[in-house]
Structures are given as C-alpha cells and as structure tokens.
C-alpha cells in the first residue's frame, strides 16, 4: 500500500527580516507561496550538516548555498583525486590533491559569500560523531561506504535529527528521509536506515562506486532531490520523503516509489563500548568491520603486498626464483579493460563458492588483487579460511598498481 504524502511543521524558526538585497537575491523563492519571505528567513536561520563532499555532496552543497541556508557544515577527511572529477563537480582540476573540505568550502563561498561554512576535516567515529552532528538542525548523508552510513544514521537517530539520505551505484539510486523522532502530533512515521537495511552487507559483497562505477550526471539528479528535501523540511513546504523511498533507474529514465514502514520509534542508543545494545560483531559499526560467520576471525590472517613488492616478485617469478599465483578477482569486463600481465581471472563469486579454487594448490603462495583492494581482501580471507598457506592482498588494487612507477612501466 502506498504511503499517503503528509506534511510536517517547519523545522526551523524564521530569523530576522530579509534585507532589500536578500529580497532581490532570493526573489524567486519569495514568490513561491509555499516558501515566501518566512520560508526564506527559515533557510537563512537553518544549520545543515552535509557529510561527504563527493558525488552527492557536491550538488547538495551548491544548491543549499544558492538557496541561502545560513550555516552549512562540511564533513570529509579525504583529498580530491583525479577520478573524482568525473562526477564531483564542486572540485576542479586545480584541486587535485587538496582536502575536499577546503575546495568545497571555497566553492560554497564563491556561490554565496553570506553562508557560514563550518569545516569538519575529520573521519567520523563513534567517539566524535555526536559532537560533530549535534550542532545542526538536519543531517545530509552523501557518503559512499556502509560503516559511515550506519554511523551517521544511528547518531542522527540518537540526536533526534532528520536525516536526508541518498545512495547511488552505476545506473541506480535511492533517496529518502529518515527521522527517528518526528514532531509530536505529526502523521509521519518514525523511520531510520535500519528499517530499510537492518544490517550492513558483508564486506566485498557489494562493490563500491570505485569498483563498480557510477554514471556521473546521476549525482546531479540525486543530489538535487536531496537538496530539495532539505529545503522542504526547513520551510515546511510540501510532503517530505519520510516513509517513502524514491528509486531511480537511469537507464530506463524512470523514478518510482517504495513505501517504508517505520519501526524506529526509539532513538538508537549506544553502550559504554560504543556498540548498539545487544549488537554482535556482525552488525556493530564501531570499528567498520562486519565479518560473516563462515570465516572465523582468527583464521583470516592476510598479508599485504605493495605495488613495488609485487613488481619484484613478478620479476623473481619470471626468473624462476618465486612461485606464486596472481589472482584477479574482478569481473571479466574489468579484466578486459585493464589487467596485470600474468594475472588469472577468478571473479570473487567463484572464490566465495569455491569453484574458482578447485584447480589451485593451497600450498602455493597467492597474491590477490581487485580494483581497489576491497573485494580481494574478502577473497583472501576466504582462501586463508579454506586452508591456503600464504595469501597476500595487493594494497590499493590495480588502481595503486597503475599509479606506481612499476605499473606505469609495465603498461
């Protein structure tokens, strides 16, 4: 059954009256009866924290700045990489190598110098997430990894903050609004990320954008919708996506809606050790590790090989001085696009079900690689648990290999 659209009261009280300059600048908002001068004053009085200055954070930050949101927090600890420029349009070529929070802050202020930009150049952890998010009215999650998504979602629930959430992968995307403590008397359900996805997937089972790819312009579509949800919540305009998930299939150019029943009536609490009460190592997000029961943690001892070490071992193997197997656990289309000479294609699924390991001698040393090192780490753990004597993971995957002098020389 579809969830009927419902409204919520404005999240933020209006600030002081707009100046003549502001009335001109934001006139197209003021003309909208659902926003008007009061709504624009609410936007100027709002404090919004955007977690992640990447593909989704880029359009969100720019549109919130243009809309006149008074204070915008930017949380990110990463640096701009050349691979980001395909979709993270807030960063420029000249920003490569700079902290994302710095280039994002400059772009926001260039868009609107009246915005108060607060930079949080930190990696969010259990011991700092409440302090970072607690000073805001609303949280926008534009992150790209499951541990941080659950960390932000649980903190937002504890703090009672509405949480605009988006996810994008390849040609598919989802957008919704979570709120574990909606206003008393409102008809919206109390919902959280764990109502949509109760536990994070096991590492390696869901490729990241770095491993699976993402269509760049989709970030603009999805981020713009997320920014719209922020403005609606702040001003009370329209019906926010609470209890409803907007799903995009970009290849079919089709949006559709999925209802979400809420069970998050109580905010998620945190125990003295930083975990959810009753949580297990399989579902806790405090350390970012979620292991499955089929691989005992004590058995999964995996070594690490850096590109220079791999190059030396490949030379030694060619000279008959080293005997190891180099496994590429990516998909066939990835292997066809770029590969390391001598690597045997063995997709991760065939490692997980054992079919790709049948012809391998477990006594031989193995080096495993994927695109960035996530899937290969998972594969290496499986192989160690199945009795392989020595398994090393290529640190940083083929991306690090291609960027290394050894990889560049081998091309």
Q: Which residues contact 371 (CB under 8 A, 6 or more apart)?
A: 207, 210, 211, 330, 334, 397, 398, 399
Q: How far, in Å, are 54, 58, 216, 248, 303 from residue 171 at the CA level?
A: 17, 18, 9, 8, 35
Between CA 149 and CA 9 the distance in angstroms is 26
Active site residue 49: no
CA distance 98 to 78: 9
How many CB atoms lie under 10 A from the CB of residue 336?
Answer: 10
Identify the DSSP state of 242. Answer: B
Out of 370, 374, 383, 398, the active site residue is 370
CA angle at residue 140 from 137 to 146, to 5 degrees?
Answer: 130
DSSP category for residue 163: E
Question: 347-354: long-range contacts (C-beta < 8 A, 24 or more apart)?
Answer: 348/204, 348/375, 348/378, 348/379, 351/327, 351/379, 351/382, 351/383, 352/378, 352/379, 352/382, 354/386
Phi, psi of 338 (to 5 degrees): -160, 140
Contact 278, 268 (CB under 8 A): no
Query: Which letter does DSSP use for residue 355 in this model?
Result: G
Q: How far apart are CA 313 and CA 315, in angstroms?
A: 5
| Active-site residue (options: 199, 209, 360, 402) | 209
Q: Supply the residues annotated as catalytic.
A: 209, 370
């Amino acid at each position: 059954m579809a969830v009927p659209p419902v409204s919520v009261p404005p999240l933020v009280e209006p600030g002081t009256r707009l100046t003549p300059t502001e009335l001109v600048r934001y006139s197209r908002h003021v003309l909208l009866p659902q926003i008007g001068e009061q709504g624009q004053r609410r936007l100027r009085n709002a404090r919004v924290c955007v977690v992640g200055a990447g593909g989704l954070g880029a359009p969100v930050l720019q549109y919130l700045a243009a809309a006149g949101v008074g204070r915008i927090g930017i949380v990110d600890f990463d640096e701009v990489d050349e691979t980001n420029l395909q979709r993270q349009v807030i960063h420029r070529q000249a920003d490569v190598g700079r902290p994302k929070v710095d280039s994002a802050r400059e772009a926001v202020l260039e868009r609107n110098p009246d915005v108060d930009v607060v930079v949080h150049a930190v990696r969010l952890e259990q011991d700092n997430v409440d302090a970072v998010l607690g000073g805001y009215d609303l949280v926008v999650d534009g992150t790209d990894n499951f541990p941080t998504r659950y960390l932000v979602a649980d903190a937002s629930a504890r703090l009672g903050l509405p949480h605009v959430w988006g996810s994008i992968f390849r040609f598919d995307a989802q957008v919704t609004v979570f709120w574990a403590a909606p206003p008393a008397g409102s008809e919206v359900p109390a919902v959280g990320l764990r109502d949509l996805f109760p536990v994070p997937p096991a590492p390696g089972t869901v490729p990241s954008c770095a491993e699976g790819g993402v269509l760049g312009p989709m970030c603009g579509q999805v981020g713009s919708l997320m920014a719209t949800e922020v403005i609606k919540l702040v001003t009370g305009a329209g019906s926010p996506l609470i209890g409803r998930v907007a799903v995009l299939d970009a290849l079919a150019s089709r949006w559709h809606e999925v209802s979400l029943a809420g069970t998050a009536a109580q905010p998620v609490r945190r125990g003295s050790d930083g975990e959810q009460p009753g949580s297990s190592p399989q579902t806790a997000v405090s350390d970012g590790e979620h292991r499955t029961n089929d691989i005992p943690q004590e058995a999964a001892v995996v070594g690490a090989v850096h590109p220079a070490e791999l190059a030396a071992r490949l030379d030694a193997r060619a000279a008959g001085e080293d005997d190891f197997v180099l496994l590429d656990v990516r998909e066939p289309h990835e292997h066809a696009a770029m590969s390391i000479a001598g690597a045997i294609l063995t997709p991760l699924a065939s490692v997980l079900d054992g079919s790709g390991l049948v012809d391998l001698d477990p006594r031989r040393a193995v080096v495993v690689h994927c695109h960035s090192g996530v899937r290969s780490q998972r594969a290496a753990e499986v192989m160690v648990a199945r009795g392989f004597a020595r398994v090393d993971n290529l640190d940083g995957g083929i991306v690090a290999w291609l960027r290394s002098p050894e990889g560049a020389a081998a091309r």
